[in-house]
C-alpha cells in the first residue's frame, strides 16, 4: 500500500488530490486490461483490426466511472443506461452472473454492438460496480449480411437478435440455450464464438481487478472517492465551460438523401447555449424530423453521446470524461425523432455513424460559430466502400466469409490550432480504428487491393486544413463478392468553419472489366463479378479558418507532397509556387494582399 494510504482517513474524507490521481489511474488500468484482452484475442476484423469496441466500469448506481481509451461513440453515454436496464430487469443479481445486451431501446448504441455486462460484488454480496464490454460484431443475424442495414424499414426487417440485458452466464458458466440461439442465427458462428470468449475474458479480468482494488482500499472508501472523482470532474468541466463565450448558436448538418428520406436529405439541427457563469451547456435536439422507416435513426445512447463528442471536441481535452463532467451538459430530446429517443420497432441499425455524426458536426460547428478559438469544422461522413462489409464464398477455403474491411478512410476536420488528424474516420470514432494491412487482407479473404492514394486538391481548405479524400480500389480474387456500405457525404460534403472551405465528398463506382465506371448510390449494396472492382472515394474533412492565412511554408509543403496543386495553392491559399517548388514571395505577398 502506498505511504499516503497509511495515513488515517477520516470518516468524512477530505479532498485528496494524490489519492484521487492514484485511484483514477487504477480504474483506467482495469479498463485498459479489459481492452487489451479483447483486442489481442478478437477474431472479427471489426474488433481486432478496427478496435470497434469499448471497455468501461460503471458504479452500482449506474454512473460511468472509468473507460479505456475507446471509440467515443461507444462509451460516453450508453453503458450507464445498459447497466441500469440490467438492474431494473434483474433485481436479484448474483456473483457469477453475466448479461448480453444490444437493445437500442434499453441503452445500447445499436444492435451490432453486442455487450457483456458483469456485475461485481463485494465479499458480502453487495453489488458495487458493473464491468461492461461492448464490441461491434462481424454479424448479428440481420436479414442481409451487414451490420449496417440502411434500408431496414423497422427492427423486424433489420432482423438482428435483440438482447435487452439477457442473462448469458450463471455461476460463471454459459447458459447454453443462449449460446445455441446465437450460433443458429449469427453468420460465421465460430468467429462469433471466438469474439464472445474474448469478451467474457475481458469481463472476468475486470472482476478480478476490481476485487483487488476493493480489498486494498475498502469498498465504502472506494465509493466515497468515486464521488470525489465525479465532483472533481464536474469542477474541471465547469472551469472549461467558463472559458467559452456566453452565446447561443444554432447549426445544422445534413445527411444525404436516400430512398425514404426527405428529398433534401436528413437535416439535423442543434441549438447550443453556453452559460459560462454557472458552467452549463444546453443542447436542444428537438427541432428535428420524426423517425424514418429506415435503419439510420439514432438511438438515445448515440444521440446523447454524439452531442457530447461535439462538446468535448471543442473544449480543453484534459477534462475527464465521466458522469461528473457529463452532468454539465444538458440535453433536450424528444421521443419518436430521427435523433432523440426512438421507439420500438424503429430501426437504429446504423445509429453509431451516419446521422449521429451529423449531430456531432452540428454541435462543434455551432460552438465554432460563437468563437473561432473553439469548436471544429465538419468531420467527413462514413462509410465509403473502403469500409464496407464484404461477403461471399472463399474459393480457396470453400467456406463463406463475411467481415467488415477497413482499407482506409480520412475525414478529419480542421481545428482552431491544428490541421486535421487525417485518419479520424468519422466523428464518432476519433481516429481510434486501425487500418487494414493489404497483405493481411489478401491472406485472410479472397480480395485484391489495387490501390490506395490520397486525392490531390480534395482537402477542406483553411488556415488549418481538413483531411483530403482517400481513393481506394479493390475487388474479389477469383469469386463473386457482395459489398454493403451506407455512404453519406456525396451531396453534403464536410463544411468548413470560421472561413474554412468544404472538402471533397464521397463517391463509389463499380469498375467493370472493360474499365468503365458505374456510379453507385448512397446505400451501396452490390455484388461484383470476379472481374469487377470497386473504386471508392472517402469524404475529406472541412477546413478551419481563412485559407489565405495558412502559413506559407505549410502550403509549400502541401504542394511538394502532392496534396494540392499549384493552381489551388494560388487561387485558394494565395501562395505562388514556381516550377522547382520554391516560393515566389513577391507574388504571394501580392496575392494575399488582394
The beta strands (E) that lie in 227-381 are given as: 248-255, 266-275, 280-284, 329-332
Q: Give the whole-angstrom CA distance, residue 296 versus residue 302.
A: 12
Take residue 117 and report the three cell numbers written for it: 455486462
508 forms beta bridges with 536
Q: What's the closest the beta carbon of residue 184 comes to other proteins, in angstroms?
A: 19
What 8-state DSSP symbol labels residue 423?
T
Task: Say whether residue 432 binds other proteins (CB under 8 A).
Answer: yes
The residue from 9, 144, 179, 197 that contacts other proteins (CB under 8 A) is: 197
Q: What's the closest the beta carbon of residue 265 comes to other proteins, in angstroms?
A: 27
CB nearer other proteins, residue 152 or residue 200:
200
Stretch near other proteins under the rule CB under 8 A, chosen from 294-302, 310-318, 545-553, 566-574: 310-318
Q: What's the closest the beta carbon of residue 439 comes to other proteins, in angstroms?
A: 5
Stretch near other proteins under the rule CB under 8 A, chosen from 327-335, 354-362, 416-424, 511-519: 416-424
Stretch near other proteins under the rule CB under 8 A, chosen from 158-166, 168-176, 217-225, 309-317: 309-317
Take residue 87 and report the three cell numbers written for it: 438492474
Task: Say whether residue 417 binds other proteins (CB under 8 A).
Answer: yes
Task: Say whether residue 411 binds other proteins (CB under 8 A).
Answer: no
Task: Say whether residue 235 binds other proteins (CB under 8 A).
Answer: yes
The residues, ordered by sequence, that sit 6+ positions from 116 with a Cβ below 8 Å of its Cβ are 98, 99, 100, 101, 132, 133, 168, 196, 199, 200, 202, 203
Q: What's the closest the beta carbon of residue 341 comes to other proteins, in angstroms?
A: 26
The residue from 96, 431, 499, 530 that contacts other proteins (CB under 8 A) is: 431
Q: Give the whole-angstrom CA distance, residue 507 versus residue 492.
A: 12
Site residues for other proteins, window 483-502 (CB under 8 A)? none
Q: Give the whole-angstrom CA distance, residue 442 versus residue 436.
A: 10
Q: What's the closest the beta carbon of residue 155 comes to other proteins, in angstroms?
A: 28
Q: What are phi and psi of 87, to 5 degrees?
A: -65, -40
Q: How many residues bind other proteins (CB under 8 A)?
A: 90
CB nearer other proteins, residue 314 or residue 362:
314
Stretch near other proteins under the rule CB under 8 A, chosen from 55-63, 191-199, 257-265, 515-523: 191-199
Site residues for other proteins, window 338-377 (CB under 8 A)? 376
The residue from 145, 265, 384, 412 that contacts other proteins (CB under 8 A) is: 412
What sign does the CA torsion over 474, 479, 480, 484 have?
negative
The residue from 10, 11, 12, 15 that contacts other proteins (CB under 8 A) is: 15
CA distances from 455 to 251, 289, 468, 471, 553 (A): 29, 35, 6, 7, 21
The residue from 59, 360, 423, 538 that contacts other proteins (CB under 8 A) is: 423
Task: Say whether residue 259 binds other proteins (CB under 8 A).
Answer: no
CA distances from 450 to 407, 442, 533, 545, 556 (A): 11, 11, 9, 36, 30
Nearest to 508 by CA among 497, 518, 499: 518
Task: Say whether residue 317 binds other proteins (CB under 8 A).
Answer: yes
Task: Say whether residue 321 binds other proteins (CB under 8 A).
Answer: yes
Q: Give the whole-angstrom CA distance, residue 57 versus residue 73.
A: 16
Task: Say whether residue 239 binds other proteins (CB under 8 A).
Answer: yes
Q: What's the closest the beta carbon of residue 417 comes to other proteins, in angstroms?
A: 6
State the pairing for strand pair 280-284/329-332: parallel
CB nearer other proteins, residue 123 or residue 216:
216
Site residues for other proteins, window 31-50 (CB under 8 A)? 32-33, 36-37, 39-45, 48-49
CA distances from 143 to 138, 158, 185, 524 (A): 14, 6, 10, 16
The residue from 261, 269, 313, 492 that contacts other proteins (CB under 8 A) is: 313
Distance between start and end Cα atoms, the chain: 67
CB nearer other proteins, residue 206 or residue 272:
206
Site residues for other proteins, window 436-455 (CB under 8 A)? 437-440, 442-444, 448-454
Task: Say whether residue 393 binds other proteins (CB under 8 A).
Answer: no
Placement of cell 489565405 in the chain: 548
Amino acid at each position: 500500500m502506498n505511504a499516503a494510504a497509511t495515513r488515517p482517513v477520516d470518516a468524512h474524507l477530505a479532498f485528496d488530490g494524490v489519492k484521487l490521481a492514484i485511484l483514477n489511474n487504477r480504474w483506467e488500468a482495469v479498463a485498459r486490461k479489459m481492452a487489451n484482452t479483447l483486442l489481442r484475442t478478437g477474431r472479427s476484423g471489426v474488433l481486432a483490426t478496427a478496435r470497434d469496441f469499448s471497455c468501461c466500469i460503471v458504479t452500482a448506481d449506474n454512473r460511468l466511472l472509468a473507460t479505456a481509451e475507446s471509440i467515443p461513440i461507444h462509451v460516453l453515454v450508453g453503458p450507464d443506461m445498459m447497466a441500469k436496464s440490467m438492474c431494473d430487469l434483474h433485481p436479484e443479481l448474483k456473483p457469477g452472473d453475466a448479461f448480453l445486451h444490444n437493445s437500442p431501446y434499453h441503452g445500447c448504441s445499436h444492435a451490432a454492438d453486442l455487450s457483456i455486462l458483469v456485475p461485481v460484488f463485494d465479499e458480502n454480496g453487495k453489488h458495487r460496480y458493473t464491468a461492461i464490454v461492448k464490441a461491434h460484431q462481424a454479424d448479428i443475424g440481420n436479414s442481409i449480411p451487414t451490420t449496417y442495414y440502411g434500408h431496414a424499414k423497422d427492427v423486424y426487417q433489420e432482423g438482428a437478435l435483440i438482447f435487452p440485458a439477457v442473462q448469458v452466464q450463471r455461476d460463471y458458466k454459459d447458459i447454453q440455450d443462449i449460446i445455441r440461439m446465437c450460433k443458429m442465427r449469427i453468420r460465421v458462428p465460430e468467429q462469433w464464438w471466438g469474439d464472445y470468449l474474448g469478451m467474457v475474458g475481458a469481463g472476468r479480468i475486470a472482476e478480478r481487478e476490481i476485487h483487488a482494488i476493493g480489498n486494498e482500499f475498502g469498498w465504502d472508501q472506494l465509493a466515497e472517492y468515486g464521488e470525489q472523482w465525479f465532483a472533481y470532474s464536474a469542477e474541471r468541466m465547469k472551469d472549461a465551460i467558463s472559458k467559452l463565450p456566453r452565446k447561443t448558436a444554432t447549426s445544422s448538418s445534413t445527411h444525404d438523401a436516400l430512398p425514404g428520406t426527405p428529398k433534401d436529405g436528413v437535416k439535423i439541427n442543434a441549438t447550443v447555449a453556453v452559460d459560462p457563469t454557472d458552467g452549463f451547456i444546453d443542447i436542444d435536439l428537438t427541432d428535428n424530423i420524426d423517425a424514418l422507416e429506415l435503419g439510420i435513426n439514432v438511438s438515445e445512447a448515440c444521440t446523447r453521446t454524439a452531442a457530447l463528442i461535439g462538446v468535448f471536441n471543442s473544449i480543453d481535452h484534459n477534462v475527464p470524461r465521466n458522469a461528473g463532467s457529463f452532468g454539465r451538459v444538458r440535453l433536450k430530446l424528444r421521443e419518436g425523432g430521427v435523433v432523440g429517443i426512438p421507439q420500438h420497432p424503429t430501426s437504429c441499425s446504423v445509429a453509431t455513424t451516419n446521422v449521429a455524426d451529423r449531430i456531432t458536426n452540428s454541435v462543434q460547428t455551432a460552438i465554432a460559430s460563437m468563437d473561432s478559438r473553439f469548436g471544429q469544422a465538419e468531420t467527413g461522413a462514413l462509410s465509403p466502400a473502403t469500409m464496407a462489409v464484404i461477403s461471399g464464398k472463399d474459393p480457396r477455403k470453400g467456406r463463406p466469409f463475411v467481415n467488415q474491411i477497413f482499407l482506409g478512410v480520412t475525414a478529419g476536420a480542421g481545428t482552431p490550432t491544428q490541421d486535421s488528424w487525417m485518419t479520424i474516420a468519422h466523428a464518432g470514432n476519433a481516429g481510434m480504428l486501425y487500418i487494414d494491412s493489404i497483405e493481411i487482407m489478401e491472406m485472410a479473404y479472397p480480395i485484391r487491393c489495387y490501390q490506395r492514394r490520397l486525392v490531390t486538391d480534395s482537402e477542406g481548405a483553411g488556415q488549418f486544413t481538413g483531411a483530403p479524400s482517400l481513393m481506394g480500389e479493390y475487388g474479389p480474387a477469383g469469386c463473386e463478392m457482395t459489398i454493403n456500405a451506407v455512404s453519406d457525404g456525396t451531396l453534403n460534403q464536410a463544411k468548413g468553419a470560421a472561413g474554412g472551405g468544404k472538402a471533397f465528398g464521397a463517391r463509389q463506382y463499380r469498375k467493370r472489366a472493360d474499365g468503365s465506371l458505374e456510379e453507385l448510390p448512397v446505400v451501396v449494396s452490390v455484388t461484383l463479378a470476379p472481374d469487377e472492382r470497386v473504386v471508392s472515394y472517402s469524404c475529406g474533412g472541412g477546413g478551419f479558418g481563412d485559407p489565405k492565412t495558412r502559413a506559407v511554408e505549410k502550403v509549400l509543403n502541401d504542394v511538394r507532397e502532392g496534396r494540392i496543386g499549384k493552381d489551388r495553392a494560388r487561387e485558394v491559399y494565395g501562395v505562388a509556387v514556381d516550377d522547382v517548388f520554391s516560393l515566389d514571395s513577391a507574388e504571394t505577398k501580392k496575392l494575399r494582399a488582394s
